[in-house]
Amino acid sequence: MSKLIIEGQNTLSGEVKISGAKNSAVALLPAAILAKKKSVIYNVPEISDIDYLIEIMELLNCKIEHKDDALIIDSSSVVNKPIPEELSIQMRASYYFMGALLARYKKVEISFPGGCSIGARPIDIHLKGFEELGATVEINKNRYKITADKLIGKKIYLDFPSVGATINIMLAAVGAKGTTIIENAAMEPEIVNVASFLINMGVKILGAGTKRIEIEGKEDLDRGVVDVFPDRIESGTYIIIGALLGDNLRINGIIKEHVEALLLKLKDIGVKYNIDGDSITISKCNNIKPTHIKTLIFPGFATDLQQPITTLLTQAKGKSIIEETIYENRFKNTIDLNKMGANTRIITNNKLEVIGPTPLKGTKVNATDLRGGASLLIAGLIAQGETVIDNCDVILRGYGFLEEKLTSIGAKIKITE
């Protein structure tokens, strides 16, 4: 497993560019299977999750060309076959092959990873949506076989506005006869990104980004062309780093509306920044006020920024409370944060207390999950001395060119095998 070695307390300045969003790209690639001609996806992030998806798609006989940051995907000769377990269990987002292959072939066989370190993360809402469209779901341990003679559009109400389920049902609905309406849909920007790709292929979709999405099923889709949106979680992570160590650090290629909840919270706690167009310039705040964070569905405070902002709040002058309402087990990073000198305490299974400011000291720590790893990375950047993060591959899943980007703005960081 790779290790991340960080020498802390270096001021960070200069410019850094945000990459394409992992959580859009991992849905856009499987969605390209719907078009029977060559599609193009621009601004694809350089992260390991994409490599896994490409491996699965090439196994299904997609022809994929790389051209700068674009992928040219020819799905004209796709062969639908069971997706091997060793590939599909590498990442959760392999579940998007369910909606895409069900739409095009009315059949998909795939193994699916169970929960992970932030929670059980079932896919019952996805499966219920497929059944509502007329599919039959057979589950044998973690092997899923989903088939349908035909899919008929209908009104589907999501028990929870799940991002993955909204996208997966939207993909399946493309292969359904008639109109599907998704009520209580998720409103995250990733949904709008995927819908724009499908609309470009000729699918009629109304309401993406709202709680109610209407999809008109359509066969023989044209090629699609789409730009992956900037990654709002990578943006938020670098903004938080800037608030702790920046000296006019300029972060380029953000979409302000996608990080609004974080920006408003940072203003509340005394962090100053300047936004011009798609760039934000931010410097270290020497007087961070404590606050109450409550993670919510979009446009509320993103759960994926809960662990990164926890590290920031270890430097606030007083007691902060963090409430995690999306996942049941997303505080594991605090074990190692406390090992570095933070003063955090889990009050209930979804409430965390953080008392600051506490100077952090570098030591050996372990990344339990992607955003927990990001929180330890930020801790290492502000800690006195050297921090070694084990299992840092999980961080590289969601942060492209991490070593290059951080080094270019003055961090002392390296990745070793």
Active site residues: 116
How would you class 68 by CB atoms within 10 Å of its CB: exposed for 0-12, middle for 13-18, buried for 19 or more? Answer: exposed
Residue nearest to ligand EPZ (CB): 164
Instruction: Name every residue whose Cβ is closer than 8 Å to that of residue 141 and which is 6 or more positions away in sequence.
Output: none
Judged by the rule CB under 6 A, the positions of this chain that interact with ligand EPZ are: 22-23, 26, 92-93, 119-126, 160, 162-165, 186, 188, 190, 233, 303-304, 326-327, 370-371, 398
The Cα–Cα gap between 243 and 237 comes to 10
If the CB atoms of residues 233 and 337 are measured against ligand EPZ, the closer one turns out to be 233
If the CB atoms of residues 74 and 324 are measured against ligand EPZ, the closer one turns out to be 324
If the CB atoms of residues 242 and 373 are measured against ligand EPZ, the closer one turns out to be 373
Find where tokens 């076959």 sit: 81
Question: At its nearest, how many Å lie between ligand EPZ and the CB of residue 289?
Answer: 27
Question: At its nearest, how many Å lie between ligand EPZ and the CB of residue 270?
Answer: 27
Helix segments in 3-95, DSSP class H: 22-31, 48-59, 85-88
Helix segments in 175-216, DSSP class H: 189-200
CB 21 within 8 A of CB 415: no
If the CB atoms of residues 356 and 398 are measured against ligand EPZ, the closer one turns out to be 398
If the CB atoms of residues 124 and 268 are measured against ligand EPZ, the closer one turns out to be 124
Question: At its nearest, how many Å lie between ligand EPZ and the CB of residue 274?
Answer: 28
The Cα–Cα gap between 357 and 270 comes to 15
- Convert 196-211 to b/e letters by CB count within 10 Å (16 or more is b): bbbbbbbbebebbbee
Question: At its nearest, how many Å lie between ligand EPZ and the CB of residue 231?
Answer: 9
SS3 of the chain: helix, strand, coil, percent, to 5: 35, 30, 35
Residue 316 in tokens: 């606030």
Question: At its nearest, how many Å lie between ligand EPZ and the CB of residue 187?
Answer: 10
